[in-house]
Structure 1
Amino acid sequence: MKQFFALALAAASGVASAQTPATNPMPDGSHDMYAGLGAMSRARYEGAANTKTSVLPVLQVQWSNGIFISGMSAGMHLSTDPTLEFGPLVSLHASRDESGSGGIIDGVGVATMMPLAARMRRDNPLAGMPDVDARLEGGAFLNYYLNPAWRLTSSVLIGSGSERDGARMTLGVQRLAVAIAPQHTMSFHAGLTLVNRDYNQSYFGVNENDAWSSDNPVYRPGGGLKDVHVGARWNWALGPSWMLTTNVQATRLTGSVRRSPLVERPTNVTVSTAFAYRF
């Protein structure tokens, strides 16, 4: 039986790519579910110099018909080939406001916006930049097993950004669970993210109006390679139903994204840990 457990923090931002759990054969009408609570430390937004820590719920469910929920993503396994996984995928891309994370902020008039942005510019490149609303992305995933221990992964999602025309493709390789001690396993992954011009313009670009309100220079990034990333996961089985899972991922922004005036630090590290209960 393939390793199914691959928890994702349910409120993770768009920094992390949508991860699809491995197919989990089970009796008809049954399901496999993990739920819990975790904490995540990550950059305030992609490319930010400072970090924030949040307490977040954890959820992963898979049903015998192939439908799954993994963090902020959901999809369905359609393949009957044990070496191939594919199917539709939807994911919620997090919003972004001046603080760097989604949320509601008080509106300010034009007369007060410019002085505020000028005062905050040194510490916050997003000051005066427009919010980007949360977006529901749709697409598909395709994974291939080189052998029982190694899996190539890919996904394409469309619908993010200010105008819902952002698209991103994630390609990766995973080393599935390796037993390092009784009740302890580790897995590893590496990958890259390709995006279109519209995606980069929404999250890393600065148009003329944005430049006026934020004091950032006009910048129009192109599409292409957005980032490369590597990570590791440690799972500790505390008992038949309880699990402690810890994740570390380093992401390096590249290409025209790295040169954006909104990017303070091109390399960000995300660390999360969570307790989960299996139902």
Structure 2
Amino acid sequence: MNRNCLTAALLLACATLARAEDNVLTLAGGIAGAARYSGADDYVIGPLVGIDYQMANGFYASTMRGIGYGQAVGPVHLSAALGYRGERAEKNRNGVGGASGSPALRGMGDVKGGTTAVLGASWSVVDGLELELHTELPLSHRENGRALGVGLTGTLFQQERDHVTMSLAAKLGDRDYMQTYYGVSAQQSARSGYRAYRPNAGLHEMELTMTWRHQFDKRWGMTATAGVVTLVRDAAASPISKKDRSATGALFATYSF
């Protein structure tokens, strides 16, 4: 399963912990569904499991967010972390984190996972509206390229136990990133049968997501999320992009203590 789609829902839930006043350990478990890879025309549903430990001093360790530090400076929240970008296989490969490939990519070779530096910033524009920016810089397998994300999240409804938000995100990649995930080299073309293709750097994906969080009590919560991912520009025109629009969804419970 596309790792970004698989973890997005849990990241939304964990984001609020970045401003926790006490040390908080959150366990999460549920299911998530997404396209097998970015541009795939088939879906997979897999387990969603996560652990997030947020310290009051700003440090955190998380299976979703990586290991890092975040701190608020007025209405702006800044963070820096070591993360991991998942692999993409040229065949069905199932694991703890869900499926990581598709036979539709046979001959394309595996894209190796690697360590990344993730730098982020969010700005509370007004109450209930937040602008977010993050960049992902590979520390290993640098040939896979760098990525940038920009998002806007607004609160649609909020009561004591319920919180409904809508997020619009745009994702961009440099030339190496676009070639890794949407391009087809001459060698890959000869092995896979896809025509050779070299995309340009820039915007490649838009995502609209709605999230509902319900808090049963101080410790237990439930989150449901549904979204639509749309490939644009050179990513949508890639020979390996079978479908330029796909759905994502997740349902999971959280327990914090």
TM-score by length of 1: 0.80
1:227 aligns with 2:205: yes
> How many equivalent pairs are there?
245
Is 2:182 aligned against 1:207? no
1:115-142 CA-to-partner distances (Å, cap 9, x unmatched) read xxxxxxxx94301110011111113111
- Which residue pairs with 2:231 in the alignment? 253
Residue 201 of structure 1: SS of its match in structure 2?
Answer: helix
- Map Cα deviations across residues 22-74 of structure 1 (whole Å, 9 max, x no partner): 44241xxx411210211011101111001001012123331111123454223
Q: For residues 129 and 165 of structure 1, do their structure 2 counterparts lie closer, same or farther at Cα, with a shift above 3 Å needed?
A: closer
Provide the rounded CA distance (Å) in 2 between the counterparts of 1:265 and 1:36: 31
Supply the AA of the counterpart residue of 1:46: S
* Contact preservation (8 Å) 1:36, 1:57: yes
Residue 21 (structure 1) aligned with residue 15 (structure 2): yes
Q: 1:215-272, CA deviations, whole angstroms, 9 ceiling, x for partnerless residues?
A: 1111111110011111011112223311111111211111111111100011111101
Report the equivalent of 1:32. 24
Q: Share of identical aligned residues, percent?
A: 19
Q: Is the 8 A contact 2:212 2:225 kept in 1?
A: yes
Does structure 1 retain, via aligned residues, the 8 Å contact 2:2–2:34? no
**CA distance in 2 between partners of 1:52 and 1:82 (Å):** 41
Q: Does 1:77 align with 2:70?
A: yes
CA distance in 2 between counterparts of 1:249 and 1:71 reads: 22
Structure 2 stretches lacking a partner, 5+ long = 96-101
Q: Of Structure 1 and Structure 2, which has the larger fraction of its residues in helix?
A: 2
With over 3 angstroms needed to count, the CA separation of the structure-2 counterparts of 1:212 and 1:161, relative to structure 1, is farther
CA RMSD of aligned residues (A): 2.5
Provide the residue aligned with 1:175 in structure 2. Answer: 154
SS of corresponding position for 2:71: coil
Cα deviation per residue 1:82-101 (whole Å; 9 max; x = unaligned)? 30111313321111102366
Once residues 212 and 235 of structure 2 are traced to their aligned partners in structure 1, the CA distance between those partners, rounded to angstroms, is 31
Q: TM-score, normalised by structure 2?
A: 0.86
Q: Which runs of 5+ in 1 are unaligned?
A: 1-10, 104-122
Report the Cα distance in structure 2 between the residues aligned to 1:43 and 1:176, rounded to whole angstroms.
Answer: 27
Larger Rg: 1
Instruction: Note if contact 2:80-2:120 (Cα within 8 Å) is conserved in structure 1.
Output: yes
